[in-house]
Amino acid sequence: MTEPAETPEQRLRRAAFGDAPAIDDRELAAAGRADPRTRLLAAVLLGARGRYAAAATILGELARADDPVTAALAASALAAQRRQLGGHARALALDGTALLRTEAGRVPESVDPDGLDAPGARADALLGLAADNLGLGRPAVARRLVAMAGSGRPGWRASVRSGWVRAEIELVVGQARAAVRHAEPAAELAGNRGAVRHAIKSDLVLAAALGACGSPAKRSRAAGLVDAALAAAEKLELWSLAWPAGLLAAELDEAPAAPHRSRVTRQLHAVLRQADAEGRRLARASPWVPI
């Protein structure tokens, strides 16, 4: 019996949260004009590819949607893209708006497999707020927000992202071994889910934690993780992950870092050419973005 063809939403969901099938520009453009859920997924993928202006246009519209879950998910996704360009204060406002739009108490557990529901939207907003506060130098606030995000069983994606933020908090406060303890399960879960984008990001977080431990063996493992993550990100054109991977590779590689940094500069300039005016302004003002 012939298997039914995938719907556009199913293909985009696989690309965003699964095994990353190839999605061409024509398919993304069509998805950007479809129903709200499909448009949301298209914007997530556009942002992952560093096409921030196109993503922001869709997410800005969806963040004003009547449906609170759609609006909250869109605001959090836009916040994540602003945060990727160093705009933690701007992301804080967007994640705060997302949290206000969620209606977490009405659904006790996730009903969407990827957390595109009320508990997942609430977890996205809280984890985003935690990451924003961490970037603004408030790790204690970030800890409290991560703990809040764990209530309500929001699903696998929130569990992975929680591991990232918990690991990053420990790195900021100088506890590299504790960071590894959070990053390892996140990487394992993302890998077991077959979630390619999340697995790449998880390996980068784990590599940063391992590299900070001071052990030659851990540093060697970290370098291997980064090399593989960078190759995968570039192959899939996930430029929002490729340039941070290049920076981490420059830190971990015993060879001269100049080639890595040169590649990062090229990738960043290409990304910023596809960013909207606010994204470019945030990147240029950020001490975290090497432009």
- Domains of the chain are 8-282 (1.25.40.10)
pTM, rounded to two decimals: 0.94
Contacts 24+ apart (CB under 8 A), 108-112: 108/152, 108/153, 109/152, 109/153, 110/153, 110/154, 110/155, 112/155
Whether 109 has a pLDDT exceeding 70, the answer reads no
Whether 186 has a pLDDT exceeding 70, the answer reads yes
Residues 133-154 pLDDT 10s: 999 999 999 999 999 998 767 6
Mean pLDDT score of the chain: 92
Place of tokens 């995938």: 6
pLDDT number for residue 103: 67
User: What are the DSSP calls for 81-150, one per residue?
Assistant: HHHHTT-HHHHHHHHHHHHHH--GGG-SS--STTS-SHHHHHHHHHHHHHHHHHHTT-HHHHHHHHHHHT
pLDDT number for residue 176: 98
Whether 4 has a pLDDT exceeding 80, the answer reads no
For residues 189-197, give the mean pLDDT.
Answer: 96
Place of tokens 């790449």: 200
Is 53 in contact with 276 (CB distance < 8 Å)?
A: yes
The Cα 203–Cα 198 span in angstroms is 9
Q: How confident is the model at residue 6 (pLDDT cuts 50, 70, 90)?
A: confident
Residues 66-103 pLDDT 10s: 999 999 999 999 999 999 999 999 999 999 999 999 86
Is 227 in contact with 47 (CB distance < 8 Å)?
A: no
Task: Determine which of 31-35, 67-71, 144-148, 189-193 has the lowest per-residue pLDDT on average.
Answer: 31-35
Q: Which regions of the chain does DSSP assign to beta strands (E)?
A: none
Nearest of 45, 51, 3, 48 to residue 28 by alpha carbon: 45
Nearest of 279, 201, 271 to residue 49 by alpha carbon: 271
Residue 152, phi-psi category: left (phi > 0), alpha (psi -120 to 50), beta (remainder): left
The Cα 161–Cα 79 span in angstroms is 14
Place of tokens 């869109």: 74
